[in-house]
Amino acid sequence: MIIPAIDLIDGKVVRLYQGDYEQTTQYSVDPIDVVNQYADDGAQWLHIVDLTGAKDTSKRQLKLIADMVATKRMRFQSGGGVRSKADVQGLLNAGVERVVIGSLAVTQPEIVEQWMTEFGPEHIVLALDINIDEAGNKFVATHGWQKDSGVSIESLIERYSKVGLQHVLCTDISRDGTLQGANEKLYAEVAKSFPKIQWQASGGIGSLNDIEILKPTKVAGVILGRALLEGKFTVKEAIERWADK
């Protein structure tokens, strides 16, 4: 499945380069218009990243997110600095079907496991940002990629699988925002190791050929951000390429 993504700062559509707030590109499009455009092109899900809320949870853009959900044009998953049960509940109350949880899944797994049990694993997506070292070890980074946790993605998946983990959004940090192509080797490896997980591939996709390359990896979803906003191709074209066997 093709899943377009939209990053929001103070109600504006933006993209960060390599997760750096100092390298922000703002796009002159309205978030609601983007929802309608992507839905018209056939998207069934939208991935929303609340970058304002990630920096300051008291400024979470819940009204805007609720307005986007209220279009009823597609289904939504959203995250960005989710740090408390109230954050999870707030997004679910806004109509988001899946809440995306990043750093906390690594630093405080006991809490996230409780949320999975309480809200249901179908409503939680673990967003795991990966650094791959020279030996091929896949370590999860936290705090906006500033810290290497020393925790391998494999050990984390094994732990959360015990509470019914279903969805993982996996990003190769070295590729994100670069349009240099996705790391198909990474996704093929994790999907083969954990076939019951619905993997979402994120980072680096800049062409329709990059989507084509991911098809044999068996990922369930492909997250597309910058390439769509910069007109490299449309959601419709991406969906057609993904469906073309």
Considering 50, 129, 172, 176, which one is annotated as catalytic?
129
Active site residue 7: yes
Q: Which residues contact 224 (CB under 8 A, 6 or more apart)?
A: 2, 3, 4, 5, 205, 235, 238
Active site residue 67: no
Question: What stretch of H or E contains 149?
Answer: strand 147-152
Backbone torsion region of residue 153, taken as left when φ is above 0, otherwise alpha when ψ lies between -120 and 50, otherwise beta: alpha
DSSP string, 59-118: G--HHHHHHHHTT-SSEEEEESS--SHHHHHHHHHTT-SEEEE-HHHHH-HHHHHHHHHH
Q: Which of 113, 128, 239, 99 is nearest to 194 (CA)?
A: 128
Query: How far apart, in whole angstroms, are the C-alpha atoms of residue 145 and residue 143?
Result: 5
The three-state secondary structure class of 237 is helix
Amino acid symbol at 198 = Q
Query: How far apart, in whole angstroms, are the C-alpha atoms of residue 159 and residue 57?
Result: 27
Percent of residues in the chain assigned helix, strand, coil, to nearest 5? 40, 30, 30
Considering 7, 87, 172, 210, which one is annotated as catalytic?
7
Active site amino acids: 7, 129
